[in-house]
Structure 1
């Protein structure tokens, strides 16, 4: 994983997008939902057995704090705050977010789960 340090981080509260700038030519936006469902925490990564995060469509970032000179810690309004997002991981999320998002949506579909909070997916068997 490439370790590239962002020159600027801007959280847009209304749109819930975290903007990361890597020089004049490279800028990305990550949604709060993307950051939450791909948290590098043990709660999400599951000590080698990832735990699918469901119902996080409305999740919001409440605050961001620096962790030394190598990472940030993001606090979410659902109480999650244990993920440490180092610079390499954030850059990887930025560069591969489309692929990661598609994989996440496929996992939700296969599990019969939803991005919507308090939603239950019901499969109808029509004969």
Structure 2
């Protein structure tokens, strides 16, 4: 799972540096990798299309308004996803995917 380690390292690095565009791209790369290792071309294409809509919207908002961003919630979801996949925790992976929303960085984090 060396690829997962490299991809999540990049998510962490860009979050820590507060490089918003690079962070969004790192999260996208992680999802693109997941789609690339999938076995269902139709599902993989649908998955990437859905992610592309969210990321495209996010990039447009970031460029137009320069809003306050909150990178930690999405970074935590990416961590949860990678951890679940590495431990073969199907329910955990599904939960992390369900919580994945690139635009969540535009909202104030909610208390757990």
TM-score (ref. length: structure 2): 0.30
Task: Please state which structure has a larger fraction of its residues in strand.
Answer: 1
Task: Please state which structure has a larger fraction of its residues in helix.
Answer: 2
TM-score (ref. length: structure 1): 0.27
Q: Which has the larger radius of gyration?
A: 1
